[in-house]
Amino acid sequence: MRTLLLTGTLMLVAFSGCIDNAADDDTQSLDLGLAGPGSVAGHPAFGYATNEDLVASPDAAVPRPLRDAAGEVIPPGVDAWVRPEYRPLPDPLSGMDLVSLSNGSNGTQGIGVFGPLAVAGGNPLQVIDITDVNNPHVIGELPDVPVRDADFILYPDGRLVVVTVRNDNQLFFVDITDAYEPVLVGVLDTPHNNHNLAVVPGTPLIYNSPSNSDGNEVAPAFSPPNSEAVAYTDIIDASDPTNPVLVQEWQNGYGCHDVTFYMNPAEQKFRGYCAGIEALQIWDLADPRQPTVVSEWGWPAFGVHDTGSAGLVTFAHLAMPNHDASILILGDESGGGAAPACDFSAQTPTGDTVTGPLGNLWFYDITDETNPVLQGSVSPNAVDQRGSCTAHFGRVIEDTNHVVMGFYSAGVTLVDFTDPENPYIKESYQPEMTTGPCPRPGQVPDLTGDEVCPVFGSFWDVWYHSGYLVTGDIEHGVGILALT
């Protein structure tokens, strides 16, 4: 099995004794042997298991409450743990095939995947069973908890909690240990907007991403890097999901749009990566409660490196490392995804017309974290787009130097960056066109006066998981693709 995991010794153990003790206590302790620096994928200071931990270990299990013949939930820890099926990756990777679409899922924005469960939104929050990739289906719903973005915390006692945001100043904590009956267990009001969020792997800590650039609430937006502007990353401790608490309002200088991580206990290297709209930051997370900035540099607006100003056209939306943190992949959501891009020409706020790389993925060499070096960029061809077309959300595929990315109307792209100076798209996936009322989300409004518009996919997010791709499509809901 190929894995994206970092060097170190993985010590996951099965749930010995769970069945014997079940009669005495329905709440079993989750003994995964992760309390130490030998653990992989998560921060060793806390020892919480991550999805990557569970998928990687041949003996690992992942929570999924089952139903018995009478329809009753089997309590967690009592024969109620199944390991997600892993599909070995083809070598070489060449493309993607549609396996299935979820039965009952709505068109979605953010999605999250943990083991055999996917969580999707809008509203309501939906829990989708993806154990059988040929038959993904909704098994639980929770009204009035929208999912713009989602991440997970697996607690040592076996509770699985999904944390969601909806682009306001609240975090929602939903217990999905019984995936058939999700329960809202906590809500936290935060000092700053919650546009996206990220759980520090292997911890109960959450980093809020307000996406407010360099502090537009207290300073002019889009000021240069290293300015005196103040912006925040709220750090939240959800050790008790029923009573999450604010640890600090970290003044890192940029209200990140998104944050990702790299954890390598063997090298004692723990990093966070902030896409700060017009700047990028690398963080040291040796103490994730008290992070520090390692380096900061400007966003390559219009293809010009280190301009320090994204304006209203280019937009540092996503920053994520490859498997060994030697390459940082940056995603540009030109114009906030509201208009066609993917190397279209566009007007600046001053009325000038510019052309060049818009909506691209950019690749930096970060072997020297204090001196990132721009290597290359790639995006779908402009003629392939059917509406908004920018890089949005995606994932690196294990240790392959391939990344999958949702590009809105340009579909799901599989990018090979083995040579980061010359990355290229191997294949794109886009569902067949249908029709629907005008205008369509993420598409250019109908200009003909007709009452129906073409309906293409508009891909918000793609998660790589256990050899498959789980996609979030604004039009068609959750789908499963197999890599070929």
Amino acid 20: pLDDT: 30
Q: Which domain holds residue 370?
A: 18-483
Residue 9 lies in a domain: no
Helix (H) or strand (E) holding 99: strand 96-101
Helix (H) or strand (E) holding 21: helix 18-21
Residue 6 lies in a domain: no
Q: Are 400 and 2 in contact (CB under 8 A)?
A: yes
Residue 40 in 3-state DSSP? Answer: coil
Residue 13 lies in a domain: no
CA distances 61 to 26, 53, 330, Å, are 18, 10, 33
Q: Are 459 and 407 in contact (CB under 8 A)?
A: yes
pLDDT tens-digit profile, the chain (484 residues) = 233 333 232 222 222 222 232 333 333 333 333 332 233 478 989 989 888 777 666 555 555 556 666 767 665 544 444 555 678 899 899 999 999 999 888 778 789 998 888 999 877 899 998 888 899 999 899 998 888 899 999 988 878 999 998 878 899 999 998 888 899 999 999 988 888 999 999 999 999 988 875 544 433 333 444 444 568 899 999 999 999 999 999 999 888 989 999 999 889 999 999 998 878 999 999 999 999 999 998 876 544 444 444 444 567 889 999 999 999 999 888 766 666 677 766 566 666 665 567 788 999 999 999 999 999 988 887 655 567 788 889 999 999 999 999 988 888 999 999 999 999 999 999 877 666 666 555 444 444 555 666 666 788 899 998 889 999 988 888 999 999 9
Q: For residue 73, what is the DSSP state?
A: B
Burial state string for 260-287 with b = 16 or more CB within 10 A and e = fewer than 16: bbbbbbeeebbbbbbbbbbbbbbbbbee
Give me 51's structure tokens.
């999805």
User: CA-CA distance, 392 to 408, in Å (whole number)?
Assistant: 7
Residue 334 in 3-state DSSP? Answer: helix
Q: What is the CA radius of gyration of the chain?
A: 22
Amino acid 354: pLDDT: 56
Residue 12 lies in a domain: no
Residue 420 lies in a domain: yes
Amino acid 31: pLDDT: 37
Residue 477 lies in a domain: yes
Closest CA to 296 of 200, 364, 398: 364
User: CA-CA distance, 459 to 383, in Å (whole number)?
Assistant: 17
Residue 56 lies in a domain: yes
Closest CA to 83 of 63, 112, 113, 53: 63
Burial state string for 417-451 with b = 16 or more CB within 10 A and e = fewer than 16: beebeebebebbbbbeeeeeebebbbbeeeeeeee
Give me 373's structure tokens.
């070096």
Structural domain total, the chain: 1
Cis omega (within 30 of 0) for bond into 124: yes
Residue 11 lies in a domain: no
Q: Are 273 and 259 in contact (CB under 8 A)?
A: yes
Question: In CATH, what number is assigned to the domain containing residue 339?
Answer: 2.130.10.10
Backbone angles phi, psi at 301, to 5 degrees: -60, 135
Per the listing, tokens 């990093």 go with 271
For the chain, report the end-to-end CA distance as a whole number of angstroms: 16
User: CA-CA distance, 44 to 288, in Å (whole number)?
Assistant: 11
